[in-house]
């Protein structure tokens, strides 16, 4: 699950998640329905090449986004989690390609059609204070 949320997995991430969840004895055995806190990683702003994404759905409920992406078996989508100072922790089902320029994202959005095209919108992560929860800034 760490790889799907942070974009990478490591012992360091496991330790940080365990620290954020003091009652979690074994991170490999999580009971269904248990709430898990995932700490926000990263102290820098969103990298320029990842300012704009095409989002099909956005929510503060990770499970809702996770189900939308993975239950639908779409290889075109991924979960993107981010911290928004005004809205808190947010999650989005986004197409895997990000854009540095708004105009490029707008063009890509106009080219989208089919199952997600009619509900897709541009997710703007260029605003001050936004932080990616994932490790994609390292990829």
Domain ranges of the chain: 40-138
Residue 138 pLDDT > 50: no
| Residue 132, SS3 per DSSP | strand
* 131, two tokens: 């932080």
Helix (H) or strand (E) holding 88: strand 88-99
> In CATH, what number does 40-138 get?
3.30.70
* 125, two tokens: 């992560």
Q: Which residues are CB-neighbours of 135 under 8 A, at least 6 positions away?
A: 6, 7, 8, 13, 41
Between CA 120 and CA 85 the distance in angstroms is 23
Q: What are phi and psi of 74, to 5 degrees?
A: -85, 120
Q: What is the pTM of this model?
A: 0.66
The per-residue pLDDT for range 41-93, each reduced to its tens digit, is 665 567 777 889 999 999 999 889 988 888 876 778 888 888 888 888 899 99
pLDDT exceeding 70 applies to what percent of the chain? 81
């Amino acid at each position: 699950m760490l790889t799907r949320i942070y974009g990478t997995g490591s012992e360091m991430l496991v330790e940080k998640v365990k620290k954020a969840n003091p009652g979690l004895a074994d991170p490999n055995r999580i009971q269904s329905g248990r709430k898990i806190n995932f700490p926000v990683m990263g102290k820098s702003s969103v990298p320029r090449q990842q300012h704009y994404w095409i989002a099909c759905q956005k929510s503060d409920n990770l499970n809702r986004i996770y189900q939308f992406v993975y239950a639908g078996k779409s290889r075109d989508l991924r979960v993107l989690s981010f911290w928004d100072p005004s809205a808190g922790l947010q999650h989005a089902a986004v197409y895997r390609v990000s854009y540095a320029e708004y105009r490029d994202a707008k063009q890509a959005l106009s080219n989208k059609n089919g199952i997600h095209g009619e509900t897709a919108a541009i997710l703007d992560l260029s605003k001050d204070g936004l932080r990616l929860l994932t490790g994609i800034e390292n990829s």
